[in-house]
A and B are shown apart, each in its own frame.
Chain A
Amino acid sequence: MNILNIIRISFKAIQRNKLRSFLTMLGIIIGVAAVITMMSIGEASKQNIRSSLSSMGSNMISIMPYNNMAMPGGVRLSSSNVDILTMSDVNQIEKNVDLVNHISPGVQSSGQAIKGANNWPTTIQGVSPDYLTIRALTIKDGVNFSDQQVREFAKVCLVGKTVVDNLFPNGEDPIGQTIRFGNIPMQIIGVLTPKGQNTFGQDQDDIIIAPYTTVMKRILATTYLQSIYASAVSEEMSDSAVTQITTLLRQAHKIRAGQDDDFMVRTQAELINMMSSTSSMMTTLLTAVAGISLVIGGIGIMNIMYVSVTERTREIGLRMSIGAKGSDILFQFLIEAMLISVAGGLIGVILGLVSSYIVSSVLHWELVISQMSIIISFFVCAFTGVFFGYYPALKASRLDPIEALRYE
């Protein structure tokens, strides 16, 4: 048997029924295109979350107080009001945890920022100069405050774009100007590079950054920290750094074995995973739906091949009478089914790429096409062709030529 001739025969048979072949392909085309688009959307949204969280500093580790030991009947306080973390924790981590290369205490307060006739409700973040590195923030104009200024409780600050826009609506240069936060006058020494909204829709530019000493002494009048920010030497080292910090802080806080921590340590990676898990669930769901449409496309092929075998019974009888063996007929119909599904698969891949491109450009997402999705859906197609084409083809190959020739 000459397989090339059989392919030629199958190809001609498809050509004879262009419209029907195309309609049969349509199920496969839509299925494959849907799978690729869904996977691309899912990947892109994951990537999107990842990159926006990374923009907040991908190595960042945040330590928050966590008071789980509520007194019966007592008022539970929000974690930022719990007096647990101190500067000595910061110093110990800085000294003993070698997987951490930057560290900053964190205190914050909300209040009104005022400049002349303009005012704006915002948040002041008291940190050390390292904070900018940890959060991957950069300064557009001006300079960061220095360690010296931290020691002096200097009344200096860095402001975000939103604050600048609201306090200086006429576009004056904010550098060197003095604004008030509540009652405290502060000189602006730098403006942060705008970052826009983060994944949760928070405006990352609505912020004032000042030395933590200034915020602690002059605004909050406290000696406790609300948080500690650190950055691990690398993203991979984050988890080890967390373990080191936890061990250290448990010792420092004299927590006995079996007792719960009075703080919690979170890495950005955890946050990323948490956020991505929602989106991967969606991706799985959508891909499953798309996969079902691919199966339905396959059943469409089977259906058409069945009709085709019945309709072409005389043709099969003729082919057998002029010398086609059962296997020739089997392969002819099998190859027809495969050609239809593979051609459908190819068109589907192209369509899927195009629609992924459209979706990504409409949503301003990065275009992420996983090669796996293309390879998988393509092979699923070929397999679909063989799987759903086999039974009708077998039926055709087992026809009795005498009966088939007489079939009306």
Chain B
Amino acid sequence: MDDTILEIKELRRDFIMGDQVVHALKGVSFTVSKGEFITIMGSSGSGKSTMLNILGCLDKPTNGDYLLDKVAVKTLSRNQLAELRNRKIGFVFQAYNLLPRTTALENVELPLLYNPTYNASQRRERAMHALEQVRLAERYDHTPNQLSGGQQQRVAIARALVNDPVMILADEATGNLDTRTSYEIMTLVQDLNQKEGKTIVFVTHEPDIASFSSRTVMLRDGRVQKDSVNENVRSAKESLDALPVTDDY
């Protein structure tokens, strides 16, 4: 069985800025298989954000092909893209993007509200299960301002898990967190990848974070500079334990 989740072939994305054409992506190709944990790295201007938007089905390529779970994204309409995002992708953002004054449970339920196949009790059940997966079940009725940054990001991860997506797409998900909390989040992400077999695409510019993944695609100037399999994946849990216990000053 072919277990390719993501297939990108000669992907190009041009932006027209006034009378200039900016080539953000100049022919990128790679594939991601089911169960992989891949980081996409690159400095500012490398085409990382554009890549992310296309991977997240928020944007469509100018040229080339993008197949997400065998679906050719390029041919889809705006509404079909929305449905695809709802069913196949779980987003995790740098700024968490939780709804304020809304409980964790309701935040996690949100993607299912746009999916008519779930009824109210199924929604609740699945959302509780997702919160359990990120070990926040007992805080289901807390609003974001009652949660720490790391906890908010865990709620956001639960929200990404709740629709059982084929891929979790994280955008600098640890960017707003300190080292310890970042490692906690990475531990969770590694667990989801290794124990539950979730496919994870993690966009970051921190090599430290990339070392936890099984593979790194390095973008530079709109092209793949390096696509390397990480031979010795660091364990986030061990790194977390290795941190000095009293690092508060």
Contact in complex: B102, A16 (CB < 8 Å) = yes
Size of the A side of the interface (Cβ < 8 Å), in residues, is 24
Residues A290-324 near B (CB distance < 8 A): 314-315, 317-324
Contact with B along A1-33 (1 / 0, CB 8 A): 110010011001000100000000000000000
Residues on B with C-beta less than 8 A from A325 are 78-79, 82-83, 114
B116 touches A5 (CB 8 A): yes
B111: which of A2, A315, A323 is its contact (CB, 8 Å)? A323
A16-B100 in contact (CB<8A): yes
Q: Would you call A233 an interface residue if the criterion is a C-beta within 8 Å of the partner chain's C-beta atoms?
A: no
Which residues, 52 to 96 on B, are CB-close (under 8 Å) to A?
Answer: 53, 56, 58-59, 78-79, 82-83, 85-87, 91, 93
User: Which chain B residue lies CB-closest to A18?
Assistant: B101
Please judge, given known A-B contacts A2-B116, A12-B102, A402-B53, whether A326 and B79 are in contact too, CB under 8 Å. yes
Contact with A along B210-248 (1 / 0, CB 8 A): 000000000000000000000000000000000000000
A402 touches B85 (CB 8 A): no
- Report how far A323 CA is from B79 CA in the complex, Å: 9
Is A389 located at the chain interface by the 8 A CB criterion? no
Give A residues with C-beta under 8 Å from B: 1-2, 5, 8-9, 12, 16, 314-315, 317-328, 401-402, 405
Residue of B nearest to A3 (CB): B116
Find B91's partner among A1, A322, A324 (CB 8 Å cutoff): A322
List 16 A–B pairs whose Cβ atoms lie within 8 Å, in order of A's numbering. A12-B102, A12-B106, A16-B100, A16-B101, A318-B99, A319-B110, A320-B85, A321-B58, A325-B79, A325-B83, A326-B78, A327-B79, A328-B114, A401-B58, A402-B58, A402-B59
For chain B, the bracket of interface size reads 20 to 34
Chain A residues with Cβ below 8 Å from B111 are 322-323
- Is B97 in the interface zone, CB < 8 Å from A? yes
Taking a contact as CB atoms under 8 Å apart, the answer to whether B116 and A315 are in contact is: no
Q: How far is the CB of B18 from chain A (nearest CB, A)?
A: 18
CB-nearest residue of chain B relative to A2?
B116
B100 near A323 (CB under 8 angstroms)? no
A317 / chain B contacts, CB cutoff of 8 Å: 97
- Our pick among A9, A314, A402 for the contact of B97 (Cβ within 8 Å) is A314
Q: Given A2-B116, A322-B110, A323-B86, are A405 and B97 also a contact pair (CB < 8 Å)?
A: yes
Residues of A within 8 A of B159 (CB): 322
CB distance from B65 to the nearest CB of A (A): 21
Name the residue of chain B whose CB is nearest to the CB of A320: B82
